[in-house]
Structure 1
Amino acid sequence: MRLVFMGTPDFAVPALQALHAAGHDIAAVYTQPPRPAGRGKALRASPVHQAAEQLGIAVRHPVSLRKNAEEWEAFKALDADVAVVAAYGLILPQIMLDTPRLGCLNIHASLLPRWRGASPIQSAILAGDTQSGVTIMQMEAGLDTGPMLLREAVDITPTTTATSLHDALSALGSTLITKVLAAPHDPVPQPEEGVTYAPRLTKEDGRINWQDSATALDRRIRALTPWPGAYTLMADGTVLKIGAAQPLPSLNHTGTPGTVLDDALTIACGTGALRLTHLQKPGRGMMEADAFLRGFSLPKGTIFSSTPDLTGTQA
């Protein structure tokens, strides 16, 4: 089948590789333009861009598709049977949705209609969902509203992180999209019940509010690491990032939320407590708690703040 692939981050790479390995004729890959990255701010191609070049596939990276008649014509000239979209990052105008003979298919990282939108992986963990999954969807103008062709669930456990769920769903998406293109699948309209939306994340979402329960804070840390990253504040304004923690939801204490209760970095929460196991101070890498404490004192009675500090930069 002749297709166009449209994606940008690591999540989309396995799908591109799987479609290439399955023998599909990939006419072109669309991805976000190279962005400044690293300390030197040199332009860096997206993971999908790099993967496409390794496979010898032509790459296009328009800054915008809105009112871009030149790009619409280039897309039409590719004469694709179908376009496969996976975390591309640009909205496809209707003229492009209608161009491929079989339309445009989206690999979405949730069990639609739950968690339509930009952050389905993080939102599922934050909400305490016990399952996530991948839905292959026929795209239409609405935000992730199109009919479903295939979907499959993945369990979310008490130790699932955004990273581990991302990797599982990325691999599953590559499997499901190859199945959909290998044989006809009847489209099924999404149910009207159970619709939820996953908003675009900001750095402010990572701020720890110690008034919350230990269970909720553990989910926040697992959902928002590595980006935007969970963090708390010292009394002097120092920002400490929290990479991992052990929730102690049944631990009774009389400490004010945010107070260090012992020498093992157990922190009082609104309900229960959270034992920090991985932390990072400014200018340093993430460390295990024992190594962190050898160079940074957090004695019993230290109080962390819940006051916002980091600005809400968009993902």
Structure 2
Amino acid sequence: LMVMGAHLVLKSVDAIREGNLQPIPQDKLLNKPLALKNAPKIFKEDCQINWNRSVQEIFNHIRGLSPYPAAWTELLADNNEERLRFKLFAGETIKNRSHHLPAGSIITDNKSYLDVAAKDGFFRITALQLTGKKPMPIVDFLNGYHIKENARFI
């Protein structure tokens, strides 16, 4: 598709340059003339990650909202008082590791990886941003912040 698309773009640019291109409004190409609608507004609540969903749904949610407005979640420390808000920008699905952990539970070595339990596996966070800080790879975050044993994402 990439090669076909590249040829089509070149053909279209040549037609525009030569004046041989007739623009057609998008709604004229559809069978239902009023079928085009604006996308719905995305609210802050829509961006919050629900760790009870499947890892593929979480992956798509984060990917679809990255880089802006960005999917977010909160880290609840083991004392249940400290809440840190994070924006997540990238990650990987880990489906072949079954578990019986509550959604949002964290497994990490506090050095190189941070896995979060979801409905059917784990989501490995690879890039995030702590509120008030710059976006960073997970390794950089773990170098400066120690995840406590009972911490979890909510």
TM-score with structure 1 setting the length: 0.37
Tell me if the contact between 2:15 and 2:21 (Cα under 8 Å) persists in the aligned partners. Answer: no
SS of match in other structure, 1:277? strand
Aligned residues: 134
CA distance in structure 2 between the partners assigned to 1:219 and 1:200 by the alignment: 18
Cα deviation for residue 204 of structure 1 reads: 2.3
Say whether 1:294 aligns with 2:140.
no
RMSD after superposition: 3.1
Distance 1:240 1:176, change over 3 A: farther
CA 1:186–1:276 in structure 2 vs 1: closer, same or farther (change >3 Å)? closer
Q: Separation in 2 of the partners of 1:261 and 1:177? A: 56
Deviation at 1:237, TM superposition (A): 2.6
Residue in structure 2 matched with residue 199 of structure 1 by the alignment: 40
Deviation at 1:185, TM superposition (A): 5.8
Structure 1 position 244 matched with structure 2 position 90:
yes
Q: How does 1:59-208 map to 2 (within 5 A)?
A: 175=13, 178=16, 182-184=20-22, 188-192=28-32, 198-208=39-49
Structure 2 unaligned regions, length at least 5:
77-81
Unaligned residue ranges in structure 1 (runs of 5+): 1-130, 132-152, 155-170, 306-315
Give the superposition deviation at 1:289.
0.8
Whole-angstrom CA distance in 1 between matches of 2:99 and 2:57 = 17
CA distance in 2, matches of 1:293, 1:267: 14
CA 1:178/1:207 → structure 2, altered by over 3 Å: closer, same or farther?
farther
Name which structure has the greater RCO, CA cutoff 8 Å, separation 6+: 2
What TM-score, normalized by structure 2, do the two folds share? 0.72
- Percentage identity across aligned positions? 28
Partner of residue 67, structure 2: 226
